[in-house]
Amino acid sequence: MKMLPMLLAGLTLALSPIAAQAEIRFGIMNESYPPFFAKDASGAWHGWEIDLMNAVCEQMKEKCSIVELSWDGLIPALQSKKFDVIWSSMSNTAERSKVIDFTDKYYNTPSTLIGPKDQKPGAAADDVKGKTIGIQVSTIQSEYYKKYFAKVADEKTYQTLDEAFQDLAAGRIDYVFGDSLALDAFLNSDGGKDCCAKMGDVADDKEILGAGVSGGLRKGDAELKAKLNAAIAALRSDGKYDEITRKYFNFDIYGAK
């Protein structure tokens, strides 16, 4: 019996290195969302958000991995501990903050409407009256539609923005509503540059559109939140954030501080 404490101590020492090497699992949407994340021909993920994730992990000196899920499954999967942090262009909104915590912001861009080039520009309720707007499910844009556009326009929902882009290009819907940078990527693509144009940014509503894109965390995960916030701040301070951003954008995507 006297050997038991020694055995337990030895077991603790033996397990310590394993615990130290545990990965931080980053959950991302399983569909491409360029220029933030997309898969190449080999199945590897790349993009601005992936580069930032890698830099954050290097700053924290942690091993990290990616877990892929559908967009509307990300919060339930986080809560059921299938991964540790949502890192998938998720806006920090009051509604989402009721069920998960968020890191500090790591970028912020407007919400935008795009439509056919021959359509009159405008992004207010009067401009979309009688039209059909394509929106990805479970997004801040879907909530914005309910408050500002639902009485005057129809909504068609999609699991991915790519599906909405296809319908817009084919003339089956009148607008796509989403994050400006993701929509800009489509407008600059072969499928979008000839057919479509930016109609305008919608009026800001921080209660719905949120305070910027952040990492999503389980409620009470204070230790990981502190580590991620420190890493984001360090990358902003030492110039690495700007170095990564310049590879994809020629303007500031962080937004007002």
| Residue with more model confidence, 256 or 44 | 44
In sequence order, what are the residues at sequence separation of 6 or more whose Cβ sits closer than 8 angstroms to the Cβ of residue 15? Answer: none
What's the whole-number average pLDDT of the chain? Answer: 91
Residue pLDDT, tens place only, 156-185? 999 999 999 999 999 999 999 999 989 999
Residue pLDDT, tens place only, 93-150? 999 999 999 999 999 989 999 999 999 999 999 999 999 999 999 999 999 999 999 9
Whole-number Å distance between alpha carbons of 87 and 239: 21
- Reported as a pLDDT band with limits 50, 70 and 90, residue 22 is confident
* Percent above pLDDT 90 for the chain: 87
pLDDT of residue 256: 65
Domains of the chain: 23-108+211-246 (3.40.190.10), 111-209 (3.40.190.10)
- What's the predicted TM-score (pTM) here? 0.78
Whole-number Å distance between alpha carbons of 23 and 62: 7
- State yes or no: pLDDT of 5 exceeds 80: no
b/e code 20-36 from CB counts within 10 Å (16+ = b): eeeebbbbbbbbbbbbb
- State yes or no: pLDDT of 88 exceeds 70: yes
CA distances (Å), origin 237, targets 80, 128, 225: 34, 42, 18
